Amino acid sequence: MLVIKLAKIIIGSRGSKLALWQAGWVRDALSKLRPDLEITLQVIKTEGDARHDLSPGAFGREGIFTAELDRALLDRRIDLAVHSLKDLPTRLGQGLALAAVTERESIRDVFIITSERAEQLGITKTTPAREALARLPHGFKVGTSSLRRVMQLKYLFPKLEFAPLRGNLDTRLKKVAEGRADAVVVAEAGLNRLGVGPRGHLFIQLTPDWYLPAAGQGALAIESRSDDPARAVAFLLEHAPTRAAVTAERTAMAALGAGCRVPAGFLATVDGERMSVSGVVGDPEGNKLIKADAEGKAAQAEALGKALSDDLLRQGAGEILKAVRG
């Protein structure tokens, strides 16, 4: 049998500051484990990055941040692609594999307002999150393009208003400073990875006891060709508990036909051999919100995800999602 000796790996990444940090982290981690390999980065431009004027939902399909990377893999221009797992479609293209899932960073979202505005509203860093958001006045405008974020916040705090807002973190905070939004909501994992602190803003953590993240949030996905030796190299960064958790979350999302651009949130946690998984689906207008939970063995992650989706569907999640899709 012919054995091909791997000498070089090219990692593909989007060009944003966060994407490059993530790909660089994977490169450095793999280089420590496989110093015999030459590992380099290559930036791949994606449609989602090129059209900041459009909300993710306006594209009408998944994969707006991943399709070009998939093509680069299949064309053998790159050997691995690094994604935020929450952006990766649940169904990969033929010939592609989810080679590794890294250990999860924070799963929380963070609600960010200026320190000056927070002081005016009597909100401090010790104010409980739900109490802080309850103090926001009618018409307070939150910048986000995520229906998942909108539906949960609108249901709990109906006086809030929402405006589509995309771009990197600096761009979003600049739009708050310019008055185009009173606050923004972003993933805490990105803040932590880039080492971004409050810098004149108040960070309010939205915790999973009342607000759920996106499926796979906080984890990195390393994608490869199914039959490529680079797949085994990527697997060196595999974190089994995170893989089990995100498998349950992504199974539930796929069973709902939800995709990553609709009003649904999921979170699974692993404790030894046990797993608990929660899900929420809601109307973006804040009129209805459905929750469900499932618990069982972590080794049965797919079955737990399916049980969760079945419960949500019994409660009417299908009708909500159908209405959103139009």
Q: What is the pLDDT of residues 282-320, one digit of tens each?
A: 999 999 999 999 999 999 999 999 999 999 999 999 999
What are the tens digits of pLDDT across the range 154-177? 999 999 999 998 787 778 888 888
Quote the percentage of the chain above a pLDDT of 90: 80
Q: 179: burial class by Cβ within 10 Å (0-12, 13-18, 19+)?
A: exposed
How much is the pTM? 0.91
| pLDDT number for residue 182 | 94
Range of lowest pLDDT (43-52, 120-129, 189-198, 214-223): 43-52
| Confidence (pLDDT) at 60 | 44
Confidence of residue 258 (pLDDT cuts 50, 70, 90): low
Active site residue 311: no
What average pLDDT does the structure give for the chain? Answer: 91
Looking at 34-144, list the stretches that DSSP marks H as alpha helix, in order from N- to C-terminal side. 47-50, 67-74, 115-120, 129-134
Which range among 38-52, 81-95, 172-186 has the greatest average pLDDT? 81-95
What's residue 188's pLDDT? 96
Does an H or E element contain 163, and which? strand 161-163
pLDDT at residue number 96:
97
* pLDDT score for 105: 97
Domains along the sequence of the chain with CATH: 1-104+219-238 (3.40.190.10), 109-206 (3.40.190.10), 239-326 (3.30.160.40)
Residue 130 has pLDDT above 80, yes or no: yes
The encoded tokens of residue 259 equal 């995709």
Contact 148, 109 (CB under 8 A): no
Q: What is the mean pLDDT of residues 318-326?
A: 87
pLDDT at 47: 66
Above 60 in pLDDT, residue 39?
yes
Instruction: Give the pLDDT score at 175.
Output: 84
Question: With 70 as the cut, is the pLDDT of residue 2 above it?
Answer: no
pLDDT of residue 166: 75
Q: How far apart are CA 2 and CA 278, in angstroms?
A: 47
The mean pLDDT of 192-202, rounded to a whole number, is 91
Residue 1's pLDDT is 35
For the cut 90, the answer to whether the pLDDT of residue 58 exceeds it is no
Cβ neighbours for 198, distance < 8 A, ≥ 6 positions apart: 115
CA 294 to chain centre: 21
- Of the candidates 87, 109, 228, 283, the residue annotated as catalytic is 87
**Would you place residue 62 in the very low, low, confident or very high pLDDT band (cuts 50, 70, 90)?**
low
